[in-house]
């Protein structure tokens, strides 16, 4: 499919830890946790659909924030909760449950960024300090952003339209030493960041974890929170013949867009959807905490200053979910929760910039 326009839909929901006491929110049964979060996500995407431009030339991009999928234990205990187990599609997993939600023909012009999932993958093997002292003897945790193009007939077609991006930089808020967590913060680690290069970041097979991927002729870049602050995409400089990122996506939980981290050129688009709560960040009124933002690059080259970015206005904002009790099963709401209920922000349609080669 060829698209020349795009419309962003931001699913704004608080994904930070609960307060008084600090803790991760969710049922004790991790399969129940996954199913509940999938139900809320499914409700949100269905609520968004009547509000968007249904023209087939407009790609709809739905983005949820970092940490949308994480259990009360800090991370799901097994990769089966993310990818499923057994042959075929597992409806009790993040991947399988969400695939069932967006497989219909009505979703064929939608691209979904289903926030991130935090999964405990097990001990780093081998625990060799000469190879990487930062991971020796620690537990490997994956913070995975799942990207899925909707509308597919079978599992082969689904996987061809799916991409998994793995966060590289572990920030201080990524893992808290809260009640019920299986491991303490100093016991867990991400894979160390690989060398910054376009080739290394190109996620050609969909599951290599790289931050650059291509779908429907568009070059996307995706950074999770701290990866944006560390300029993961900006430092992956295109070489001769490589295509610059056209659309940059930033799901986060405590970040905003930094001009000097933007990897697109003039006309490029960058969208951030953040799930930080009002206790750890400022209020949504000043652009921090639970928020979303969408910019177009106005500079002739990659931007350096905030003035090199032009904000694109929201078209409308609606409720993301209806049932407060269902929300509270897996997400914490601050005391002034009426200001922090899940929202869907639908932005104005924007032009997709043409591809530019280095």
In angstroms, what CA-CA distances link 305 with 53, 249, 257, 261, 266?
Answer: 32, 19, 11, 10, 13
Mean pLDDT lowest for which of 23-32, 132-141, 157-166?
Answer: 132-141
Residue 257, token pair as written in the block: 């867009």
Residue 273 sits at the vertex; the CA angle it makes with 272 and 278, to the nearest 5 degrees, is 120
**Its pTM surpasses 0.85:** yes
Mean pLDDT, rounded, of the chain:
90
* pLDDT over 50 (residue 282): no
Q: For residue 281, what pLDDT is reported?
A: 43
Per-residue confidence (pLDDT) for residue 283, from 0 to 100: 43
> What is the C-alpha to C-alpha distance for residues 220 and 341, in angstroms, rounded to an integer?
30
* Cα–Cα distance for residue pair 192/260, rounded to 1 Å: 23
* Residue range 243-275, pLDDT digits in tens: 999 999 999 999 999 999 999 999 999 999 999
Residue 195: per-residue pLDDT? 78
Tokens for 50, please give them: 């009547």
**If you ran DSSP here, which 8-state letter would residue 354 be given?**
P
Q: Quick one: fold of 5-351?
A: Nitrilase/N-carbamoyl-D-aminoacid amidohydrolase (3.60.110)
**pLDDT of 280 higher than 70:** no
Instruction: Pick the closest to residue 254 from 174, 165, 344 (CA basis).
Output: 174
Rounded Cα distance between 31 and 34, Å, is 5
8-state DSSP, 350: E
Q: Mean pLDDT over residues 31-60, rounded?
A: 97
Note the pLDDT of residue 85.
82
The answer to whether 193 and 171 are in contact (CB under 8 A) is: no
Q: Mean pLDDT, to the nearest integer, of 85-110?
A: 91
DSSP class of residue 191 equals P
Of all residues in the chain, the percent with pLDDT exceeding 70 is 92
Q: Residue 54: which residues within 8 A CB-CB, separation 6 or more? A: none
Q: What is the pLDDT of residue 207?
A: 72
At residue 331, φ and ψ (nearest 5 deg) are -130, 140
Per-residue burial over 86-124, b = 16 or more CB atoms within 10 Å of its CB, e = otherwise: eeebbbbbbbbbbbebbbeeebebbbbbbbbbbbbbeeb
pLDDT at residue number 128: 55
Contact between residue 319 and residue 344 where contact means Cβ atoms under 8 Å apart: yes
Taking residue 186's Cβ as centre, other Cβ atoms within 10 Å add up to 9
Q: Report d(CA 279, CA 261) in Å as an integer.
A: 26
276 pLDDT tier (thresholds 50, 70, 90)? confident
Q: Answer with the residue of higher pLDDT: 338 or 94.
A: 94
pLDDT digit string, tens, across residues 178-236 = 999 999 998 998 877 777 899 999 998 777 789 999 999 999 999 999 999 999 999 99
Q: How do strand 188-189 and strand 212-215 relate by DSSP bridges?
A: unpaired
CA dist., res. 144 & res. 164, Å (int) = 6
- When mean pLDDT is compared over 13-22, 128-137, 165-174, 219-228, the highest value belongs to 219-228
Q: What is the pLDDT of residue 308?
A: 96
Q: Is the pLDDT of residue 1 over 50?
A: yes
Question: What angle is formed at CA 242 by the lines to CA 237 and CA 247, rounded to 5 degrees?
Answer: 75
Q: How far is CA 85 from the centre of its chain?
A: 23
Domain coordinates in residue numbering, the chain: 5-351
What pLDDT, on a 0 to 100 scale, did the predictor assign at position 299?
Answer: 95
Contact 294, 320 (CB under 8 A): no
């Amino acid at each position: 499919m060829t698209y020349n326009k795009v419309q962003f839909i931001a699913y704004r929901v608080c994904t930070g830890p609960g307060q008084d006491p600090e803790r991760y929110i969710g049922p004790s049964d991790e399969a129940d946790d996954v199913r509940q979060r999938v139900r809320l996500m499914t409700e949100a995407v269905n609520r968004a659909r009547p509000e968007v431009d249904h023209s087939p030339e407009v790609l709809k991009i739905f983005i949820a924030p970092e940490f949308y999928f994480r259990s009360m234990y800090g991370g799901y205990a097994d990769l089966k909760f993310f990818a499923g187990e057994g042959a075929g599609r597992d409806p009790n997993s993040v991947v399988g449950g969400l695939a069932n939600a967006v497989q219909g023909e009505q979703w064929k012009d939608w691209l979904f960024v289903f926030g991130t999932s935090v999964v405990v993958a097990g001990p780093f093997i081998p625990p060799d300090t000469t190879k990487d002292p930062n991971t020796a003897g620690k537990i490997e945790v994956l913070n995975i952003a799942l990207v899925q193009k909707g509308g597919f007939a079978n599992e082969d077609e689904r996987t061809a339209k799916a991409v998994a991006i793995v966060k590289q930089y572990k920030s201080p808020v990524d893992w808290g030493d809260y009640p019920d967590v299986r491991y303490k913060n100093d016991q867990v680690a991400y894979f160390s960041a690989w060398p910054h290069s376009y080739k290394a970041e190109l996620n050609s097979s969909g599951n290599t974890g790289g931050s650059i991927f291509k779908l429907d002729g568009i070059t996307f870049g995706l950074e999770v929170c701290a990866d944006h602050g560390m300029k993961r995409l900006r430092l992956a400089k295109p070489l001769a013949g490589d295509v610059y990122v056209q659309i940059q996506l930033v799901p986060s939980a405590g970040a905003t867009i930094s001009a000097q981290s933007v990897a697109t050129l003039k006309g490029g688009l960058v969208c951030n959807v953040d799930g930080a709560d009002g206790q750890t960040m400022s209020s949504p009124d000043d652009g921090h905490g639970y928020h979303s933002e969408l910019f177009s690059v106005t500079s002739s080259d990659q931007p350096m200053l905030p003035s090199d970015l032009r904000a694109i206005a929201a078209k409308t904002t609606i409720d993301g979910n209806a049932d407060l009790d269902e929300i509270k099963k897996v997400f914490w709401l601050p005391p002034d929760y009426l200001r922090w209920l899940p929202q869907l922000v639908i932005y104005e349609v924007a032009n997709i910039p043409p591809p530019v080669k280095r």
